[in-house]
Amino acid sequence: MDIILRAVDVHKVYRMGDEDLDVLRGVSLDVRKGDFIAITGPSGVGKSTLLHIMGGLDRPTRGAVSVRETDIYKLNDRKRSQFRSRSVGFVFQFYHLLPEFTALENVMLPALAGGEAGSADVKSRAEKLLGDVGLAARSAHRPGQMSGGEQQRVAIARALMNGPDLLLADEPTGNLDSHNSKVIIDLLVRLNREQGQTTVIVTHDERIASQMKRVIRMLDGNIIDIRDN
């Protein structure tokens, strides 16, 4: 049992004026190596909040998250940010590519930011990843010169650049038509099946969730159901 991520009794409270908003109410969850998990549930139940906390992007009010046995919120901000760039790849609904850089440069960035600037192999790794997502012919395009589906594939290649233990994706198909959604999901399925990429995605789409190995349903800040497909 190789546990990649363990969340224990995670709470998140937002203080709004003099009212507390209990967004996560004690979520516990293990992600094992090779898992492919969908988190679903109605709007506002805390799915994005949970995913951000799992990825080291947002601190829980209470509870702990460990990735590969490192308690990530016990690290200082600089160490946590280093840890995140090495261990976690994040994919967002709206891609978040840097508009002034080419596809290839966007994919290279996480390695460059990690201090690999001198490494000749960064470029060839990024080219290989762009090939893996079917975009070898788009490497010189800037985000504004690519379709939404292509931009999301670049974002996935970028998320994989540092060989993350864990790939997290928040509604990665939320902004795409059904054809491009299928391309993205097929890609994630293939990465999981062929490379054992541990992946957690948030999705509203039941048909997408049914293709994942495990489906976690949330309601009112809690996990109410875990189903293995």
Ligand X SMILES: Nc1ncnc2c1ncn2[C@@H]1O[C@H](COP(=O)(O)OP(=O)(O)OP(=O)(O)O)[C@@H](O)[C@H]1O
Residue type, 130: L
Q: Are 10 and 24 in contact (CB under 8 A)?
A: yes
The answer to the question of residue 48 lying near Mg ion (CB under 5 A) is yes
Tell me the site size for Mg ion, rule CB under 5 A: 1
Element (H, E) at 84: helix 77-87
Partner that binds at residue 21, options Mg ion, ligand X, none, CB closer than 5 to 8 Å by kind: ligand X
Partner that binds at residue 43, options Mg ion, ligand X, none, CB closer than 5 to 8 Å by kind: ligand X
Give the torsion sign (CA, 129, 186, 171, 203). negative
Q: CA 30 to CA 76: how far, in whole Å?
A: 23
Characterize 148-162 residue by residue with b for buried, 16 or more Cβ atoms within 10 angstroms of its Cβ, and e for exposed. bbbbbbbbbbbbbbb
Taking the complex as a whole, the smallest distance from the CB of residue 48 to ligand X amounts, in Å, to 3
Give the interface segment with Mg ion, choosing from 41-49, 136-144, 158-166, 172-180 (CB under 5 A).
41-49
Taking the complex as a whole, the smallest distance from the CB of residue 118 to Mg ion amounts, in Å, to 38
Radius of gyration of the chain measured on its C-alpha atoms:
17
Using the minimum distance from each CB to ligand X, give the nearer residue, 46 or 143.
Answer: 46
Residue type, 77: D
The answer to the question of residue 49 lying near Mg ion (CB under 5 A) is no
Using the minimum distance from each CB to ligand X, give the nearer residue, 12 or 138.
Answer: 12
Residue of closest CB approach to Mg ion: 48
Taking the complex as a whole, the smallest distance from the CB of residue 154 to ligand X amounts, in Å, to 22
Taking the complex as a whole, the smallest distance from the CB of residue 165 to Mg ion amounts, in Å, to 23
Q: Are 192 and 4 in contact (CB under 8 A)?
A: no
Query: Where along the sequence are the contacts to ligand X (CB under 6 A)?
Result: 14, 16, 21, 23, 43-49
CA distances from 150 to 88, 155, 183, 217 (A): 21, 9, 10, 29
Partner that binds at residue 138, options ligand X, Mg ion, none, CB closer than 5 to 8 Å by kind: none
- Where along the sequence are the contacts to Mg ion (CB under 5 A)? 48
